[in-house]
Structure formats: C-alpha cells, structure tokens
C-alpha cells in the first residue's frame, strides 16, 4: 500500500427531512447566497424546504447555473458575492451547481487578476469561502470532495480545479430528492459513479486489500440497485443506496494508498467541451477503448474485477480480463447508455486528432496511473471509440 494522508472534513446529513437542519450548520448572522440550476428545485419542493430552513438568515438567490457550469454565468454570481458582501454559499443542486459554487468559493478569495487562471493554470485552493450543499442528484460525489469541473463555452474548454479549501462544510443527502430526477439523469448518475470507482481501481495492484474490496462493493451495490432505481425513482430504499454509493465512489476514501487513473475522465471532458455530450456518457464512450489499448498494464486488475464483481470464473487471466471489459460495456448498455461517439454526433471525424493535439499543447505528455498514456495513445483510444 502506498503512503497517504487523508482528511475529509465534510459533515453529512443523510436521510428524510434533513434539509430543515441546515440552519444549525450555517454560521449565525451569515449572509447567504443560495445557488441553484435551471429550476428543477422549484418544481419538486426542494426550494420551499430550503427557503423555510433559511428563514432566519438574510438570503440572496442566484439561479440559472447550467449543466456543465459555465464560467461566464458564474462570473455574474461572483459580482453578486462581492457587491452584496456575501459570507456563506449554499449550493442546492447536482454536480454542476456544487462545482460552480466551489469555483465561486475559490474565486471570491482569489488574488490574481483573472479567475479563469484558477482553472487554466491549475491553481490549487487552500482557503475558500465557506459553503454547504443540498444535493439533488446523486452522481458526481462533489458533495463530499474538494474538486470541481468548469466549462468555458467560448473556447470549448472544460477544466478541473480543487484543493483542500474546497470541501463543503456540510452536505444534505436526502434520498427523497431522487423522486423527481428524469430517467436520463438517473442513468448518468449510475454510470458516472461506477466509472469513478473504475478510475481508482483499474490500475495495478499495490496489495491494498481493503481499498480493492471497498471499491468492488461500491460497484456491486450500484449494479444491484440499478434496475430498482431505474424502474421507480420513488423507491426510497433504492434511492438511499444509490445516493450513498455515489458519494462513497468519489469522496476520496477508496483512492487512499492506491494508484489512480482518471484518463477516461480527461478524454471524456474533451468530448463534453467539444460536443456537449453528458459527462457520464462521455465516460461510457471512452472506457472500453481505454481498457483495450492499455490491456497489458491493467489485465491483472481487469481479471480480478471480472471475477469478484461479475462472477467470471472460467478462462485464463487474459480471457477473464477481456470478459471484464465486455461486462462493463454491457453494464452501460443495461442503463440505456450508448457507448460509441457516433451514437452522439455525426461530426466525429477528426475528434481524436483534435483531442491529442490539445493534450500535446497543454503538456499532458503522459496521463493514467503510470503516466504512459501519451497524446498518440489518446488519439488511438478516441479513434477506437468512434
Ligand atoms: O438545473 P436543474 O433545473 O436543477 O436540472 C438539473 C440538470 O438539468 C437536473 N436535476 C438535478 N437534480 C434534479 C434534477 N431534475 C429533477 N429533479 C432533481 N432532483 O439534472 C440535470 C443535470 O444536473 P447536473 O448537476 O449537471 O448533473 P451531474 O450531477 O451529473 O453533474 C455533472 C457535472 O459534474 C461534473 C461533470 O463534469 C459535469 O460538469 N463532475 C464533477 C465531479 C466532481 N466535482 O467531483 C466529478 C465528475 O467526474 C464530473 O466531472
Ligand atoms: Zn465523473
């Protein structure tokens, strides 16, 4: 097992009726900016619950944060934070609203000239404005981690940011919010969380037995509850397991002491930036080709995954590893998710070259757990996923 230091300061308030408890988590006399997305919270009762819980505070609202949170929109919110002397941020939404809020928590205290540099120049955030979240969509794990991903439509770029100053102070995980989530977003949430585990697991063994078992159990739980939550979003038991699995998939715990990959996400983010494809779907597009191209480096873990997660007990190590890749693609399909780029855009030709050139220009010479996935290999992987 590799060395690690681990601290996750986010307090979780899990379960029915927990939204009303946010008042005791926000500092007295705080001036709160409540941030939300395109309006789903106004239709499903979440807005009323949050407003009621905040009745003792001075609250300013900022709605309209789009999926794949957009830099220009967030800059409008930044002006409000400064003009209104906001002291606490409250994100009410999915990964996009939470990520946008993390960007604001960082940008509000940023001393450089152009907040975009936090993303483009990869500036880590050690101190951010305090914020909490009310999660409305299980998927990203953003409610209990310190990362964010922000888009700039103008330049078709999507960059990650983060740092120890960007953990939420608290997050409310009320599975009842799952009821109103559209089918497509449920599919996305399952696929995104599953792939988060893969990115932290499908590398090479460092004999970290517990981390492997934890990762496998998150994947097994997602596989087990997927049919139930796809069938009925009002199934509270399934929603609870869905929600906590998504959080556990990316709150840092399973990543400690083990190598992680994240190449699928890095390539996937480009597909969202270029074509606007839903984040989770870009991962489903890339995963199979990535594992095929990097088969030699990953085959031991692929075989272990096939055995333990999918009960593949026949065949050689290579055959089991290949079965693991096939099972993964079949899992995405079982969620209703297409796994080829051409299923999403007709203009896919040349995508591989564009992405590999971008990686080259950014100096991303080798990604993945061994730093071996060069821009040339990125080109090959993306092309194989057409
Ligand atoms: O905007 P509203 O009207 O709220 O509608 C949203 C949005 O259209 C809707 N929705 C959310 N909760 C709902 C609901 N509709 C009905 N009922 C509810 N309870 O769902 C749509 C999608 O929301 P979004 O927040 O965009 O989805 P998700 O949570 O999947 O977030 C995706 C973003 O997170 C980033 C992605 O790149 C993408 O930008 N990621 C963030 C990560 C992190 N911070 O750790 C890691 C991930 O790998 C990912 O990259
Ligand atoms: Zn993801």
CATH code, domain carrying 258? 1.20.1090.10
Identify whether residues 121 and 239 lie together within a single domain. Answer: no
Residue 316, in any domain of the structure:
yes
Identify whether residues 199 and 220 lie together within a single domain. Answer: yes
Identify whether residues 48 and 164 lie together within a single domain. Answer: yes
Residue 118, in any domain of the structure:
yes
The values of phi and psi at residue 319, to 5°, are -65, -40
Identify whether residues 97 and 198 lie together within a single domain. Answer: no
Identify whether residues 376 and 262 lie together within a single domain. Answer: yes
H helices, E strands: number in the chain: 14, 8
Q: Which of 133, 149, 177 is the last residue of a domain?
A: 177
State whether the beta carbon of 50 lies less than 6 angstroms from ligand 1: no
Identify whether residues 193 and 113 lie together within a single domain. Answer: no
Residue 4, in any domain of the structure:
no
Q: Which of 134, 150, 177 is the last residue of a domain?
A: 177
State whether the beta carbon of 99 lies less than 6 angstroms from ligand 1: yes
Q: How many CB atoms lie within 10 A of CB 152?
A: 17
Mutate to test the pocket of ligand 1, among 19, 185, 193, 250 (most ligand atoms within 8 A of CB): 185
State whether the beta carbon of 93 lies less than 6 angstroms from ligand 1: yes
State whether the beta carbon of 181 lies less than 6 angstroms from ligand 1: yes
Taking the C-alpha atoms of residue 92 and residue 44, their distance in angstroms, rounded to an integer, is 12
Q: Which of 177, 204, 227 is the last residue of a domain?
A: 177
Residues contacting 365, CB < 8 A, separation 6+: 371, 374, 375
Using CA atoms in the order 130, 136, 140, 141, what is the torsion angle rounded to 10 degrees? 50
State whether the beta carbon of 67 lies less than 6 angstroms from ligand 1: yes
Taking the C-alpha atoms of residue 359 and residue 355, their distance in angstroms, rounded to an integer, is 6
Taking the C-alpha atoms of residue 13 and residue 135, their distance in angstroms, rounded to an integer, is 10
The residue segments making up the domain with residue 241 are: 182-384
Residue 2, in any domain of the structure:
no
Beta bridge partners of residue 383, listed in sequence order: none
Identify whether residues 167 and 189 lie together within a single domain. Answer: no
State whether the beta carbon of 180 lies less than 6 angstroms from ligand 1: yes
Identify whether residues 85 and 208 lie together within a single domain. Answer: no
Number of domains in the chain: 2
Residue 304, pLDDT score = 98
Residue 84, pLDDT score = 98
Residue 312, pLDDT score = 98
Query: Residue ranges of the chain with pLDDT lower than 70?
Result: none
Minimal-distance CA residue to ligand 1 atom 50: 149
| Neighbouring residues of the ion ligand 2, judged by CB less than 5 Å | 192
Residue 107, in any domain of the structure:
yes
Please give the distance, rounded to the nearest whole angstrom, from the Cα atom of residue 54 to the centre of ligand 2.
31
Q: Report yes or no: 43 and 179 within 8 Å, Cβ to Cβ.
A: no
Taking the C-alpha atoms of residue 248 and residue 145, their distance in angstroms, rounded to an integer, is 10
CA 356 to chain centre: 23
Residue 274, pLDDT score = 96
Residue 240, pLDDT score = 98
């Amino acid at each position: 097992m590799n060395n690690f230091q681990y601290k996750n300061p986010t307090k979780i308030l899990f379960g029915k009726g927990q939204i009303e408890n946010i008042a005791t988590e926000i500092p007295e006399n705080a001036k709160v900016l409540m941030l939300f997305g395109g309006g789903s919270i106004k239709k499903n009762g979440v807005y009323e619950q949050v407003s009621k819980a905040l009745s003792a505070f001075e609250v300013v609202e900022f709605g309209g944060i789009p999926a794949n949170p957009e830099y220009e929109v967030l800059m409008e919110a930044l002006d409000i934070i400064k003009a209104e002397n906001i002291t606490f941020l409250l994100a009410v939404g999915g990964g996009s609203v939470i990520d946008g809020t993390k960007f604001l928590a960082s940008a509000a205290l940023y001393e450089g000239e152009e907040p975009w540099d936090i993303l483009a120049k990869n500036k880590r955030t050690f101190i951010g404005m305090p914020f909490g979240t009310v999660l409305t969509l299980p998927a990203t794990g953003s409610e209990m981690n310190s990362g964010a991903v922000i888009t700039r439509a103008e330049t078709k770029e999507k960059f990650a940011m983060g740092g120890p100053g960007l953990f939420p102070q608290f997050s409310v995980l009320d599975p009842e919010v799952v009821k109103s989530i559209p089918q497509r977003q449920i599919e996305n949430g399952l696929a995104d969380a599953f792939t988060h585990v893969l990115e932290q697991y499908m590398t090479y063994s460092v004999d970290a037995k517990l981390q492997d078992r934890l990762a496998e159990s998150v994947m097994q739980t997602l596989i087990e509850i997927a049919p139930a939550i796809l069938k009925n979003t009002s199934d509270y038991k399934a929603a609870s397991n869905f929600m906590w699995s998504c959080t556990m998939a990316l709150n840092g715990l399973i990543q400690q002491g083990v190598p992680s990959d994240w190449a699928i996400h890095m390539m996937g983010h480009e597909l969202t930036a270029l074509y606007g494809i839903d984040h989770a779907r870009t991962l489903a597009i890339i995963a199979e080709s990535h594992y095929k191209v990097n088969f030699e480096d990953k085959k031991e873990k692929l075989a272990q995954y096939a055995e333990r997660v999918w009960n593949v007990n026949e065949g050689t190590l290579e055959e089991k590893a290949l079965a693991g890749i096939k099972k993964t693609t079949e899992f995405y399909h079982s969620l209703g998710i297409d796994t080829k780029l051409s299923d999403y855009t007709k203009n896919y030709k040349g995508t591989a070259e564009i992405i590999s050139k971008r990686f080259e220009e950014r100096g991303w010479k080798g990604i993945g757990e061994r730093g071996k996935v060069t821009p040339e290999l990125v080109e090959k992987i993306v092309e194989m996923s057409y």
